[in-house]
Amino acid sequence: MSYQNLLLEQPESGIHLLTVNRPKALNALNAATLEELQRAVAAVAADPAARVLLVTGSGERAFVAGADIAEMCGFSAAQAQAFSERGMRVMSALEALPVPVIALVNGYALGGGCELALACDWIIAAEGAVFGQPEVNLGIPPGFGGTQRLARIVGRARALELVTTARQLPAAEARAIGLVNEVVAASALRERGIEVARTIACKGPQAVRLAKQAVHRGLDQNLAGGCAFETAAFALAFATSDQREGMHAFLEKRVAKFSGG
């Protein structure tokens, strides 16, 4: 499958690396790029050998600097709604991907770029990365889920502060408020992402997928409902060959060889 605005590669077995590749536009998200992102995420979802997806931007300046303002400038309200809905579908598809998705933020992650990172399961950032939802500077609110995912991660008051002031956060502050999991040197970002992905890829694939489902679905329910879903996931794992292999390997004091079955 070919892409004009993306690169989709496999640096190692089971590990997919998706790069937004519009460096001249600081990797801004236009309609064509959003359409390609949806296709790329669907391709990873359809790969039974997929274990982790890493998402990053090309070049050194930007992860994704935002949505493409030049394209949006002349939108009617109807066109703006269609564009927002397209972006929302991409972010939802990323969030719903069965395998963990890690954003490797290598520079500016603003507006739609911050929303793209928020739709990933967690974020590893380069030391020079910058985060923000500056849409109010343009006379619009966020449109790809920023008001919702940001509030769920950093809390309502902090999210409202960031969205209404358009304040940009350096990587260290983003980590301090829980937006970012880890900050590393820019030169080490890709390798660190692959290292984390490699750690996940050697675990029981079915267990990892069930754990991701339980976390995401549980957060949309009360505690009792979330725990009930976890019990169902726990029981379902006992119908897999991965469970048998993992437990036998533990008892036999050897490394498990998971098949994903």
Which residues are identified as catalytic? 115, 135
Sign of CA dihedral 36, 37, 43, 49: positive
Q: What are phi and psi of 233, to 5 degrees?
A: -65, -40
Q: Give yes or no for a contact between 30 and 64, defined as CB atoms under 8 angstroms apart.
A: no
Q: Give yes or no for a contact between 123 and 102, defined as CB atoms under 8 angstroms apart.
A: yes
Tokens standing for residue 31? 């309609």
∠ CA 108-216-153, nearest 5°, is 40
∠ CA 195-196-201, nearest 5°, is 95
